[in-house]
Structure 1
């Protein structure tokens, strides 16, 4: 047995697989009695901070306490502080803890290369667009029918009080939830979000699968389910098909493009084959059924044959370990609960050796379970950024991972089984967070911030500034509020079922406003603690002393009054009205349109904007 050999050093590739302390993989690697262990991974944090502890504990046993201690001291404070409703104290604690984790702890255990700095000079550009595709009417109706099932309602309302008056929860009274029901219906809603054909019986199904799919099809199509062969080509059964077809047609017109399409569903790959063959695309496929001996020849054909336009790949079989830099277009057809899996798939094309810019399009069924999975992806990617870099991430969500009663807008079955038919929940969440940050900046960015502005900007404050600079600042309306023209691809997709799009990296970008907000929270925490110490000391002295305190000398002059600074609420009111008075917006509600632009500006640009609002007659 390998674990009985006296190894002096061990290297483990893809070490993130050692993420669950109870898994057989982790237990097997823990059997090695070795002084030096190295783990190689690009994703030490994938789902939560507990995975990081498992890795650290594997090669440094017991140096970082137990899992429970890690959860209490690291996981809980960090996740609580990332909630949109975190208090000033919780926000300050989380920020200071993240900085300590990154600066004091991880350097002793991690040697981390940042792809954006270490190898950025070797890579071209990458854009990652997330496309929210509208569900078809058939998909919407199927979702509603499954949501109306009593078994699904029992899960959604499980924590509510039973209507019988017993004061017990429904799940513990007259509406029990059967074990395994949650996973069963999560799988069903994922299939409906992807393509309705996935719940129809197919020729490749075994007897058990065929029986289950017939039952599902009866619910989804009460008037009779279509046959599998005809349903494959029915565009009304999938809201993503029109978007995918539009992308492929656009890219095929431009010579030299090569496309990767990743999906989790082998059944979907079989369906794609019919479509691609009918449209005349030259393609290759790779999934779990592909023989190991055939993998490299297929990859070589795609990479070297100019006629092979498309490569359809199962994420599980080909999402890692492949070099596919011949491709410059990537489509993620369905999201994974673990964002690292989708990022790994993208990196099959965007890696060292790539010479062209890479365009990534991640397709989501808007309003469905898929959109909720993507919201979880955002949350997890933000946790990665905080754990790796102590990044000041925008607090989009109220929910706190792993804390019962704090599911908020992100966790729990009630959120999972919510259908947002007429709105884009992610869009609304992002807009609200940006609006909150803009309002906070308008209310709290004051003279202390302006004092850090370079001398030429301070000269602008007094009117002594170069004419060109004045014109630039006076162009604030276009500088802040002008909407850029949509790219051709974006406009085309919007007319073929894409209801909303955004750039994934923009959502995950740390912001100056959030950074300033957390700094204020830390200062407020220090001030409060100092005040508590002084108050406690004063109380002790007064109790021990019999003589009254001496009066202050020299006495304070009450008639020498200075003008009090504006309160945050007053400053917010004044600056909002300045935006209206200067003609940059017509109503306060128009701030929503410009909030994202302001939040993503550099500190220098934000200061210029605030100067214009504070001194409209002098600049």
Structure 2
């Protein structure tokens, strides 16, 4: 039995996973580009399917393997926690090594003479945006709302969802009259702006439209991914107001129509702008006509965004690809991105033979419902990552020129996502221990 996109059985309690386990098979193979999406138990589920009992019982795996590795991956872990976490991760890698085959594009994309063929470059940029005045007021008022106060005693998901919506566009706050409730506490001038459908309400739409003007003028084809159809609706409205042509796929698109739309884009007969929801457009499609990708809003699951990017950066892509991941300074999106980095570090720890650098402490990851102490104009995450990796940045003239253009659009700054995990952790940790005290 061979499972493609095998990570879909990461939850062993689902009916899909249970049904597949009941099918008799002498051999089982799982194919996945994202074997770890949220935690190490994702990896356990895949091995439980294809190599039962290799990693033991789920609860024992969590206690003996996942928990020590998690503690060791925290920035302010003690020397002993780091040592234990590193030892357990090494044991895990050695245990799965005979059954785990991992290949990168650069390793399989070879010419007949055995040398690596010219593989196009991928540059992933985090573009740090400043909330508009309207968004800032909504964000501040919402943090003081009853929904946030009550979230400490019940589910935090509704409050988190609304904070994410404000970062994208306040007009997304339609459920339960939330926008109207918040408007009552917002200054009159900003209320007037909210009644408009102007791009100026949303820093993300304003930036995206300005970026598209440049990209389309320079002859690029662009994929635009968002988590929600409603955000795509707002982007679509802005495109229409500018007379821009576009293609679109989301959950409401029939399967038969999706094939036609993808073919139109790939063959070059369709518009150079392609709008997609991450859930529908982020898996299984080849969209190598595009050489620019805009990820409008970050997902909690880092593999969701990575899968979106890989629609364009695939074997067969002949052009260099630039990815723009949009993040707002000082907001919940910084916390989401930090969680993405932490989860990505777990994958590296479990599968690669090098000590991963620890970017954030547990406290850094937990402060969600709080106003940024540095304000909404700068990103502490950007500052930390740039301090860690600025000396590693190597850009050709084209990318350097493009970043200079981005800086003319009033952004807070740029981080090089591609450099994450490119440094190993230092052996000496005494300074971190002193910081923790």
Task: Please indicate, yes or no, whether the TM-score normalized by the shorter chain is above 0.5.
Answer: yes
1:55 is the counterpart of 2:42: no
Equivalent position of 1:3 in the other structure: none
Equivalent position of 1:231 in the other structure: 196
Equivalent position of 1:92 in the other structure: 83
SS in 1 for 2:117: helix
Equivalent position of 1:194 in the other structure: 168
SS in 1 for 2:347: helix
Equivalent position of 2:113 in the other structure: none
**CA pair 83-116 structure 1, distance change in 2 beyond 3 A:** farther
**CA pair 434-510 structure 1, distance change in 2 beyond 3 A:** closer
Structure 2 CA distance for aligned equivalents of residues 66 and 378 of structure 1: 28
Equivalent position of 1:251 in the other structure: 215
Q: CA deviation at 1:430?
A: 3.1
Q: CA deviation at 1:499?
A: 0.3
Structure 2 CA distance for aligned equivalents of residues 131 and 343 of structure 1: 16
User: Is contact 1:328-1:357 (8 Å) kept?
Assistant: yes
Structure 1 CA distance for aligned equivalents of residues 353 and 332 of structure 2: 30
- From 90, 95, 111, the equivalent of 1:105 is 95
Moved more, 20-29 or 291-300: 20-29
SS in 2 for 1:86: coil
- From 266, 271, 287, the equivalent of 1:308 is 271
Structure 2 CA distance for aligned equivalents of residues 428 and 357 of structure 1: 27
Structure 1 CA distance for aligned equivalents of residues 255 and 290 of structure 2: 21
Equivalent position of 2:4 in the other structure: 13
- From 352, 355, 358, the equivalent of 2:315 is 352
| Larger relative contact order (CA 8 Å, sep ≥ 6) | 2
Structure 2 CA distance for aligned equivalents of residues 366 and 396 of structure 1: 18
Structure 2 CA distance for aligned equivalents of residues 483 and 315 of structure 1: 29
Structure 2 CA distance for aligned equivalents of residues 494 and 235 of structure 1: 19
Structure 1 CA distance for aligned equivalents of residues 26 and 291 of structure 2: 44
Q: CA deviation at 1:82?
A: 1.2
Asked which structure has the greater CA Rg, the reply is 1
SS in 2 for 1:311: strand
User: Is contact 2:134-2:194 (8 Å) kept?
Assistant: no
Root-mean-square deviation over aligned CA pairs: 2.8
Structure 1 CA distance for aligned equivalents of residues 121 and 392 of structure 2: 25
SS in 1 for 2:355: coil
- Give TM-score scaled by structure 2 length: 0.88
Q: CA deviation at 1:221?
A: 5.0
Note the 1:367-406 alignment, pairs <5 A: 367-399=330-362
Q: CA deviation at 1:226?
A: 6.4
Structure 1 CA distance for aligned equivalents of residues 2 and 300 of structure 2: 28
Moved more, 347-356 or 116-125: 116-125
Q: CA deviation at 1:231?
A: 3.5
Structure 1 CA distance for aligned equivalents of residues 386 and 337 of structure 2: 16
- From 349, 365, 387, the equivalent of 1:410 is 365
Structure 2 CA distance for aligned equivalents of residues 199 and 154 of structure 1: 18
SS in 2 for 1:371: helix
Moved more, 19-28 or 129-138: 19-28
Structure 2 CA distance for aligned equivalents of residues 37 and 142 of structure 1: 51
Structure 2 unaligned residues grouped into runs of 5+: 110-115, 432-437
Equivalent position of 2:379 in the other structure: 424
User: Is contact 1:391-1:510 (8 Å) kept?
Assistant: no
Note the 1:18-37 alignment, pairs <5 A: 18-37=9-28
**CA pair 195-482 structure 1, distance change in 2 beyond 3 A:** closer
User: Is contact 1:394-1:433 (8 Å) kept?
Assistant: no
Q: CA deviation at 1:60?
A: 2.2
Q: CA deviation at 1:26?
A: 1.7
1:499 is the counterpart of 2:406: no
SS in 1 for 2:358: coil
- From 83, 95, 102, the equivalent of 2:74 is 83
Equivalent position of 1:240 in the other structure: 204
Q: CA deviation at 1:481?
A: 12
Q: CA deviation at 1:325?
A: 0.5
Note the 1:527-546 alignment, pairs <5 A: none
Structure 1 unaligned residues grouped into runs of 5+: 1-9, 159-176, 201-208, 400-407, 436-478, 522-567, 570-619
Provide Cα deviations, 1:317-347, integer angstroms capped at 9, x if missing partner.
1111111011111000111111101111111
User: Is contact 2:147-2:159 (8 Å) kept?
Assistant: no
User: Is contact 2:290-2:312 (8 Å) kept?
Assistant: yes
Equivalent position of 2:139 in the other structure: 143
User: Is contact 1:128-1:361 (8 Å) kept?
Assistant: yes
SS in 1 for 2:283: coil
Structure 2 CA distance for aligned equivalents of residues 114 and 301 of structure 1: 29
Note the 1:337-348 alignment, pairs <5 A: 337-348=300-311
Equivalent position of 1:468 in the other structure: none
Structure 2 CA distance for aligned equivalents of residues 343 and 47 of structure 1: 13
**CA pair 141-50 structure 1, distance change in 2 beyond 3 A:** same
Provide Cα deviations, 1:117-168, integer angstroms capped at 9, x if missing partner.
333636311000011110011111111111112442354xx5xxxxxxxxxx
Q: CA deviation at 1:33?
A: 2.8
Moved more, 312-321 or 236-245: 236-245
1:365 is the counterpart of 2:328: yes
Structure 2 CA distance for aligned equivalents of residues 14 and 483 of structure 1: 34
User: Is contact 2:249-2:276 (8 Å) kept?
Assistant: yes
Equivalent position of 1:184 in the other structure: 158
User: Is contact 2:69-2:88 (8 Å) kept?
Assistant: yes
